[in-house]
Copies of this chain bind each other. A is one copy, B any other.
Amino acid sequence: MAIEQRSEVGGRRSVGHVIALAGGVGGAKLAHGLAQILQPEQLSIVVNTADDFEHLGLLICPDIDTVLYNLAEVNHLKQGWGREDESFKVLVETKRLGHDAWFRLGDRDIALHLLRRHMLDEGLSLSDITSNLAERLDITHPVVAMSDQAVRTIINTPEGELSFQDYFVHRRCEPIMLGMTLQGLAQARPSAAFSDALVEADLIVFCPSNPYVSIDPILALPGVQKTVAAKPALAVSPIIGGAALKGPAAKMMAELGVEVSALGVARHYAGVLNGFVIDGQDHDLTAAIETLGMHVHTTDTIMQDKAGRVRLAGEVLDFAKTLGVKEPA
């Protein structure tokens, strides 16, 4: 069921239906690049919801919103969250009214959150709401919440358990991560759109997102890892030259006693992936990653601008064609 599609970056590719798994900024960038090449019916962008949380009576979905804003090209180009050309009138007033405004919600961002809140009150599911918001932002590619049930990442630290946003935003990732648990996982299942895409998928792409707090929660949903392991699947390493471009991935790996490198990430995904994309600076890790049963593609994985996103997405799709179908386990 491979579909022919026209690429903006030249040539024709045949990759069929692609699922991109995405967390924060890095994930949103590659998803945005893929959306420039693949038609809406060829791509499902499945987004982590385990770092969602309630704040000021609003459901904040940091990863979904980062993906939405990037796909709609209204994201703030430098800060990695929120919207460009944003104001903070509401936040200033909540502060004046004595509320601890540790989470910075801009006015435009609040507008989207009020619509989400309204739809939640009307009983819509998170995945339906996400589709609705994507449509309002004129996004044509499906942005899919991984689950309609609440899964919440809890970071285990020497101080005890911290909710992810408390750890991430409030505490700026300072506490040492001893491990993590996914609250609510037992009651959660993939959303219908995610399940359907999994059946249809010819390729799964793990965008360069945090393996622990962005990708693992998606894989942890019932049936997902098994399905992914049986299909052509590749990751773009979020670790470049032993560091993460953004976010706490490298710090977490070190604290969990894992080698902080693209190889460390590849080991984490061993048995699930048959392709791995690393940055040029990590070229010397190729052989070690190949021993894990993965093909390796080496390129510039830093997406400086939109052209860089499209270029990397094109390379990922080209590389995918070389992976072939996995042997049944």
Q: Could you list which residues of chain A lie within 8 angstroms of chain B, going by C-beta atoms?
A: 54, 56-58, 87, 89-94, 96-99, 107-108, 110-112, 114-118, 120-121, 133, 136-137
With contacts A87-B87, A94-B115 known, what are 5 further pairs, Cβ within 8 A? A54-B121, A89-B108, A90-B114, A92-B111, A96-B111
A110, B112: Cβ atoms closer than 8 Å = no
User: Who on chain B is nearest to A99 by CB?
Assistant: B115
Is chain A's interface secondary structure helix, strand, loop, or mixed overall?
Answer: helix
B89, A121: Cβ atoms closer than 8 Å = no
B87, A117: Cβ atoms closer than 8 Å = no
Could you pull out 17 A-B pairs where Cβ atoms are within 8 angstroms? A56-B115, A56-B118, A89-B107, A89-B108, A90-B107, A90-B108, A90-B114, A91-B111, A92-B111, A93-B108, A93-B111, A94-B115, A96-B111, A97-B115, A99-B115, A107-B107, A110-B114
Contacts of A91 in B (CB 8 A): 111
Minimal beta-carbon separation of A113 from chain B (angstroms): 9
A97, B112: Cβ atoms closer than 8 Å = yes
Given contacts A89-B108, A115-B94, contact A57 B120 (CB under 8 A): yes
- The oligomer's copy count stands at 2
Contacts of A92 in B (CB 8 A): 111
Contacts of A90 in B (CB 8 A): 89-90, 107-108, 110-111, 114
The 9 closest A-B pairs by CB, nearest first: A57-B117, A93-B111, A89-B107, A57-B118, A56-B114, A93-B108, A97-B136, A94-B111, A90-B111
Bound CA span A89–B107, Å: 6
User: Who on chain B is nearest to A96 by CB?
Assistant: B111
A57, B114: Cβ atoms closer than 8 Å = yes
Minimal beta-carbon separation of A84 from chain B (angstroms): 13
A107, B93: Cβ atoms closer than 8 Å = yes
Minimal beta-carbon separation of A133 from chain B (angstroms): 8
A94, B114: Cβ atoms closer than 8 Å = yes
Contacts of A99 in B (CB 8 A): 115
Minimal beta-carbon separation of A203 from chain B (angstroms): 32
Bound CA span A35–B60, Å: 40
Minimal beta-carbon separation of A216 from chain B (angstroms): 29
User: Who on chain B is nearest to A112 by CB?
Assistant: B97
Bound CA span A108–B97, Å: 10
Minimal beta-carbon separation of A230 from chain B (angstroms): 39
Bound CA span A98–B138, Å: 11
Bound CA span A121–B116, Å: 16
Bound CA span A98–B119, Å: 14
Bound CA span A94–B112, Å: 7
Bound CA span A96–B133, Å: 12
User: Who on chain B is nearest to A136 by CB?
Assistant: B97
Given contacts A89-B87, A89-B89, contact A97 B120 (CB under 8 A): no
Given contacts A89-B107, A89-B108, A90-B90, contact A97 B58 (CB under 8 A): no
| Candidates B56, B57, B97, B107; contact of A137 at CB < 8 Å | B97
Contacts of A56 in B (CB 8 A): 114-115, 117-118
